[in-house]
Every structure is written in structure tokens, then in C-alpha cells.
Chain A
């Protein structure tokens, strides 16, 4: 699965994209965020305020309870500030 990071989430995580094999018990966006916190200092810092981080599953806005099975691309980012 491909993971993408944008804005300050990207800066704190220290990378903009990666390919990962997820543990079998990670099945929702919320579980994926909880897993990210366990991946070392950078990820713990990036996902420290997980409640403010938004996610997109296959380029569509997702909720914490959104299922991620079969997704090919999941992105994490702060609330958007365009316009």
C-alpha cells in the first residue's frame, strides 16, 4: 500500500511517500493512524495530534472509521487551507 504525506505531516514524518505492508489487524483509517504513532520518533511526532489530521483513501476524503481494505493509496494531511 502506498502512503502519502502532505504539509506539516510530511515535514514531521520526514518523507512524502512510501510503500508499506500493513499489519493484518489494521483495517480502518483510525487504526492506521494509531499504527503510525508506533513507527519511531518522527512518526510519533507527526501523528501526535492525530485528531486534527485528515486522511484520504484512494484520493477521496475519508473518516476515522473508513475501511482501508483493498485501497491502493492513503494520504495524511492537515485540514486544507486553499482558496
Chain B
């Protein structure tokens, strides 16, 4: 599925990235990503700490189901993408992207009054892993009347 350029730009900007997976018993699990490489053909590579979020990784390995919400801290503009993912080996690009993301999002949060010591536990790059997500659908998640509305994709 092709992604809109504006949406791709948004997802690549310093926004919070949260990940939802579920295991085979349908117990959901939450994780955080530290960076996204967004390709317009609908592939998003999400980088996360395997040390911090082992459950997210094992769920993706088990069934591939992955949803990710991108939320801009300054105005709560949010989009959720859903699709199927595989675990891929992290590359230098992923590592560099994670370092740049952590630096830029920390700065954004600090500007909003959140000290770096407080955001540090969410922005961890220890033992990096990467998930390659093929997006099937995109939803508006910004609080308001349009929340939950499908933007792209779907059956």
C-alpha cells in the first residue's frame, strides 16, 4: 500500500511511536519504537530495544501482527498504521536512525517541559532490533470526532 508523502514525513519526524502486538491467547502487549524508516511503498522499518521490549518482538515473531501509533507530543496529532511485520536484522542505518531519533525527540519533549531524565527510560537503544511492517491500513487517531476513522487501506 502506498503511503501519502505528508504522512510519511509525519512518521519520520520526531513523534512518539508506540507499538501494539498480541500473542496467540489474544493478550495485547505494548512497546515503544525509537525511530522509523518510512518508505512510500508502505514498508515501515521500526527500530526498538529487544532488551526492553522482548514481548513485542516475540509476538511479531509468532504471528506478525503489528500496529503502530505515531503521536506528535506538541498537538496530539496521531495516526495509527496496522499490518504485518517480520523481524529483520538491524543495520547501520537503523542504528544511526535510532540515535538521531532519540536526540531529536528528547529535544522536543524537553522543549515541552519534560526533563531528559524523565523521558530517558522510554528512549532506549540497548540491543536494537528492527521490525519491517507492511502497512495494510492507516487510521486517524488524533483526539476528536475523526478519531478511529480510516484514512487509507482496508478491505
Chains A and B bind each other? no
**Interface of B with A (CB < 8 Å)?**
none
